[in-house]
Chains A and B, each alone.
Chain A
Amino acid sequence: MQDTEPLATDSETATLQELTSKEYKYGFVTDIEADAVPRGLSEAIVREISARKQEPEFMLEWRLQAFRHWLTMTEPTWPNVQYPPIDYQDIVYYSAPKSKKDGPKSLDEVDPELLKTFEKLGVPLHERARLAGVAVDAVFDSVSVATTFKEKLAEKGVIFCSFSEALREHPDLVQKYLGSVVPYSDNFFAALNSAVFSDGSFCFIPKGVRCPMELSTYFRINAIDTGQFERTLIVAEEGAHVSYLEGCTAPMRDTNQLHAAVVELVALSGAEIKYSTVQNWYPGDAQGKGGIYNFVTKRGKCAGARSKISWTQVETGSAITWKYPSVILQGDDSIGEFYSVALTNNYQQADTGTKMVHIGRNTRSTIISKGISAGHGQNTYRGQVKILKSAEGARNYSQCDSLLMGERCGAHTFPYIEVKNPTAKVEHEASTSKIAEDQLFYCKQRGIREEDAVSMIVNGFCKEVFRKLPMEFAVEAQKLLGVSLEGAVG
C-alpha cells in the first residue's frame, strides 16, 4: 500500500493552474420537452416506470424485489471519496424526451434538436457511422432514440437494441441473463439501478458469430437533476466475439447529477468480449462545483472455458468516479483483463480499479492501471485479486502506475490480494512518478510547447492502455487527455 503526496515548485504549480483551466466542451443543453415522472423514489414510482415502459410482469417483479432490498441497504462509505449526502427523494428517476406516439421508425423521425446534439457530440449517427462501421445505440436521458445497423446485424443473428426493446422482443433472453452477473442485491447502487433503470443497451451474439462491426453506445445526461440509470447486458454465446464501445458525456450543470449504471457481460465457452469506455462526464468546474457522480457497477463473467473478457477504460470526467469493472473467471483457462487510465483534475475524485476473481483452473488475469492526478484531484486505485481454492495454476499480473502533476493532488493505491491455492502466481508492481521538470525542459528545449509536451508525456505514460483501444477511440482518448489536461503542468 502506498500513499503519496507530490512535490512541486511554485512555478510548476502556477503553470499547472493555468493549464488546468480548460473548459468543458460538451456543456450545452438541448431544449427538448421531457416527459418525466415526479421527483422521488417509492414503490409507486417503480411501478410507474415499469408501466410507462410496458414491461413484462417478471421485470416489474424484479424491480420491486430490488427496490425492497435497496430499502434495507446503506450507502457504502469505504470508497476514498468525499461528497455531501445524496437526497434520493430529490431525484427524477425517469425522463424521456417527448416524441411521436410510437417512437421513431427511422432517423428522419427523430427530433432534429436531438440529432443536432449528437452531431455536436460527434456521434456518427448517419453516413459517417456507416463509413466508420459503427452501430450506435444512442441513449439520450433514458430512452434509446435510434439504433443503426440493426438489419445488417440481424443477418448474422446479432441482437443489438435498447434494453426496452429487448424486453419487448426478447424477454426470454433478458430474463435468462439479467442479474446473473450483478444480482440486484449486489450493492447499494446496483440495487437502486435494478429498481429504477430506465433504459440501456442489450447485445446478444449467437454461437460462433464474430460480430461484423464494433458496437457503440453513446450516453448523455441532459435533463436537470435526472439520475441516469442504464443497464447494459451483453451476452456472447459459445465462440462468439464482440467489441463494444461506450462513450459518455453530460452537459454542464452546477448541481451534481447521479449516474448509477450497471453493466453485465456474459461470455460462454470460447467467447470473447472486449468492452471499451471513454468516459467524459462533466467533471464540475474548476472550483469543484457541479459534475456527475458516477457510481457504476460493471462486471463480466467468463462463464465458459477459454472465454475472455477485456475491459479498457479511459476516465477523464465525472466529479466522483466509483467503479470497478471486474471479471469472474469461472471457466477453465479463461482470461480477464483490465486496462485503465483514470485522470483527476481540479477537484475530481476517482476511486477505481478492478476485481479479478479466479475460480476456474489456469485462469489468467492482467491489470494495468494508470492514474493521473492534477490540480486538487485525488486518484485511488483499488483492486482485488482473489484466487479461490479451485483455481489451480491461476496467474495474475498487476501493474499500477501513478503520475502526479503539481503539489496538491494525490495518488493512492490499495491492492487486495487473496490467494487460496498454492499453485497460483500473483505479481504486483506499482510506481508513482511526477512529470519531471527535466522532461518538460527537454521537450521545450527541442522547441515543443509546454502544453504539447505535457500531453506527449502523459500519452506516453498511458500508451500500454491506449494500445488496447480500438483505433478511433484511441485517437479520441488522446485528444480528451490533452483537453482535460490543458494547463495542468506540474
Chain B
Amino acid sequence: MLEIKNLRATVGGQEILRGLDLVVKPGEVHAIMGPNGSGKSTLANTLAGRENYEVSGGQVLYDGKDLLAMSPEQRAGEGVFLAFQYPVEIPGVGNAYFLRAALNAVRKYRGIEELDAIDFLTLVRKKMKLVDMDEGFLSRSVNEGFSGGEKKRNEILQMAVLEPRLAILDETDSGLDIDALRIVSAGVNALRSPDRAIVLITHYQRLLNYIVPDFVHVLSAGRIVKSGDKELAHELEQAGYAGFEEPPGDGTPVDVRAVQYRGA
C-alpha cells in the first residue's frame, strides 16, 4: 500500500530525512520511534504534503501511485489521513460543520454521494461513541478551547468519520493523561481493519502497550536504523535511544538496510 524508497526531505534548507525506506501493507500497524530531531514529524508532514517540507530525493508510492505528486487534498481524498501532533484551532467554525465539509469533500473525491445534514449527524453520533465524546463537541469551534486530550480525541473522531486507508498518527499520545490515552487508544484499536494501515509515530513505548504494533522501526538521523516487532519497543524502553543517536561525521552510519525489510 505504501512504499517509501530512499526518501530525502529538507525543511528550511536543512536535510532531515536522509534516505528513508519503509513498506507498509494493508492491515498492518507500524510504530515509528526515535529520539527528538530524528525526523519523525518530518516524515508525517512530508507524507501529508505540507508546504515547506521539500522532497529532495526518493519516491513514495501509494497504491502504486506517486503520492508526492498529489496535492494535500488529493492525498486526503485518496485516503491518507494525518492525526496532527498539534491539532489546529479554527475560531468560529463549528466542529460539525468542519467535519461534514471534510467528509463531503473526500466523498466527492471518491465519487460517493455527499451526505445531508441529517445522515451526517446520525453517522457522527455513532462515531463519537468510539472516542467517548458528547454532543456538545459538535457545536464548539474546531479545537478552540479544547484541552489537550479533547484535541487528540477530536483527531481520532475525524479519522473515524473520514475512514482513511492509511492513517498516520503523529505523537497522538503526547500530552495525554492515562485516561485520555486509554480512550484514544481504544478508538484507534476499534479502527484497525484488514484494509487499513496505521503508522504510529511516537517517542514513547507507553502508547504501544495500548495499541500493539505489528512492526516497530527506529528512526535516527533521518533514516530507519532498526526494525523489529513489538519487542524492539521494549528494548528501547530499557536501553533508550542512546545507541541510535546521530553518529558524528558524514551521516553514513552502519548499513542497516538488511534488517529494515524484516517482516515488511
- List the interface of chain A (C-beta within 8 A of B): 9, 11, 436-439, 441-450, 452, 456-457, 459-464
CB pair B88–A460 under 8 Å, yes or no, is no
- Residues of B within 8 Å of A436, CB to CB, are 88
Q: Which residue on A lies nearest to B80, using beta carbons?
A: A445
List, sorted by A's number, 30 A–B pairs whose CB atoms are closer than 8 Å: A438-B86, A438-B88, A439-B89, A441-B50, A441-B88, A442-B84, A442-B87, A442-B88, A443-B90, A444-B49, A444-B71, A444-B73, A445-B49, A445-B50, A445-B81, A446-B98, A446-B102, A446-B158, A446-B162, A447-B109, A448-B101, A449-B105, A452-B101, A456-B90, A456-B93, A456-B97, A457-B93, A460-B92, A463-B93, A464-B92
Measured CA separation A259–B200 after assembly (Å): 60
CB pair B51–A445 under 8 Å, yes or no, is no
CB pair A457–B90 under 8 Å, yes or no, is yes
- Residues of B within 8 Å of A444, CB to CB, are 49, 71-73, 76
- List the interface of chain B (C-beta within 8 A of A): 48-52, 71-73, 75-77, 81-82, 84, 86-93, 97-98, 101-102, 105-106, 109, 141, 158, 162
- Residues of A within 8 Å of B71, CB to CB, are 444
CB pair A441–B72 under 8 Å, yes or no, is yes
Measured CA separation A432–B76 after assembly (Å): 31
User: Given A11-B51, A463-B92, is A447 in contact with B87 using a C-beta cutoff of 8 Å?
Assistant: no
Within the complex, the shortest CB–CB distance from B167 to chain A, in Å, comes to 12
CB pair B106–A447 under 8 Å, yes or no, is yes
User: Given A9-B52, A460-B141, is A447 in contact with B92 using a C-beta cutoff of 8 Å?
Assistant: no
Q: Which residue on B lies nearest to A438, using beta carbons?
A: B88
Within the complex, the shortest CB–CB distance from B164 to chain A, in Å, comes to 10
Within the complex, the shortest CB–CB distance from B156 to chain A, in Å, comes to 13
Q: Which residue on B lies nearest to A462, using beta carbons?
A: B92
Further 15 A-B residue pairs, CB within 8 A, beyond A9-B52, A448-B105: A437-B52, A441-B51, A441-B72, A441-B88, A445-B75, A447-B102, A448-B73, A448-B101, A452-B101, A456-B97, A457-B93, A459-B93, A460-B141, A461-B91, A464-B92
Measured CA separation A456–B92 after assembly (Å): 9
Measured CA separation A437–B53 after assembly (Å): 13
The 3 closest A-B pairs by CB, nearest first: A460-B92, A447-B76, A460-B93
- Residues of B within 8 Å of A447, CB to CB, are 73, 76-77, 102, 105-106, 109, 162
CB pair A9–B93 under 8 Å, yes or no, is no
- Residues of B within 8 Å of A452, CB to CB, are 101, 105
- Residues of B within 8 Å of A459, CB to CB, are 92-93
CB pair A460–B106 under 8 Å, yes or no, is no
CB pair A446–B105 under 8 Å, yes or no, is yes
- Residues of A within 8 Å of B91, CB to CB, are 460-461
Within the complex, the shortest CB–CB distance from A193 to chain B, in Å, comes to 36
Measured CA separation A463–B90 after assembly (Å): 12
- Residues of A within 8 Å of B87, CB to CB, are 442
Q: Which residue on A lies nearest to B81, using beta carbons?
A: A445
Within the complex, the shortest CB–CB distance from B182 to chain A, in Å, comes to 25
Within the complex, the shortest CB–CB distance from B146 to chain A, in Å, comes to 13
Measured CA separation A460–B143 after assembly (Å): 13
CB pair A439–B51 under 8 Å, yes or no, is no
Q: Which residue on B lies nearest to A446, using beta carbons?
A: B102
Measured CA separation A449–B109 after assembly (Å): 11
Within the complex, the shortest CB–CB distance from B83 to chain A, in Å, comes to 10
Measured CA separation A437–B76 after assembly (Å): 17
Measured CA separation A414–B89 after assembly (Å): 28
